[in-house]
Structure 1
Amino acid sequence: MDEYCVLFGKRLAEIRKEKGIAQDKLALKCDLARSFVGEVERGKRNLSLRNICKLAIGLGVTTAELLALIDDEIKPED
């Protein structure tokens, strides 16, 4: 499970940086603590669906975009 948290955090940080949004601005926009966003990006938090949705809305992306690295990791082999 921890590896999924790390992958999610990596993807969150990638998208946030691509969009030029600071952690504190994203946290404020999503009604989350900045420290929480930092912990998520470092893979230290296991998020609820509610918080995944808040972050996707705050970044202006789909939840699928946030979960892309995890989807790549768990994709079944043909």
Structure 2
Amino acid sequence: MNENQVALIFGKRLKELRLEKSLSQEKLAHHAGLHRTYISLLEKGKRQPSLSSAINLADALEIKLSYLLTPFLN
């Protein structure tokens, strides 16, 4: 799996989980201590999060980090 595929898969998973929680990008960004445009770039697969950002996103979504990373744990 190359970097572009990883970014796209992570972005799709993040968006799915954000929508399940009925959160806007703005609210998720606020709860995770990140910028809304960064959330948008992640969801579009244009960026990959650092480990600390991924942890903050999982916390903001009130899920375990492993649940956020489920597509990569096969």
Residues in 1 aligned to 2:35 and 2:60: alpha-carbon distance in whole angstroms:
13
Q: TM-score, normalised by structure 2?
A: 0.92
Structure 1 equivalent of residue 10 of structure 2: 8
Structure 2: 5+ residue stretches without partners: none
Structural RMSD (CA): 0.8
Aligned length: 72
Distance 1:66 1:5 in 2: 13
Please name the residue that 1:54 is paired with. 56
**Matched letter for residue 25 of structure 1:** K
Return the index of the structure with the highest Cα Rg. 1
Distance 1:11 1:39 in 2: 13
Consecutive unaligned residues of structure 1, counting only runs of 5 or more, are: none
Matched, 1:66 2:68: yes
Pair 1:20-2:26 in alignment = no
Indicate the larger mover: 62-71 or 23-32. 62-71
Identity of matched residues, %: 36
Offset at residue 15 of structure 1 (A): 0.5
TM (norm. structure 1) is 0.88
Secondary structure of the 1:45 match is coil
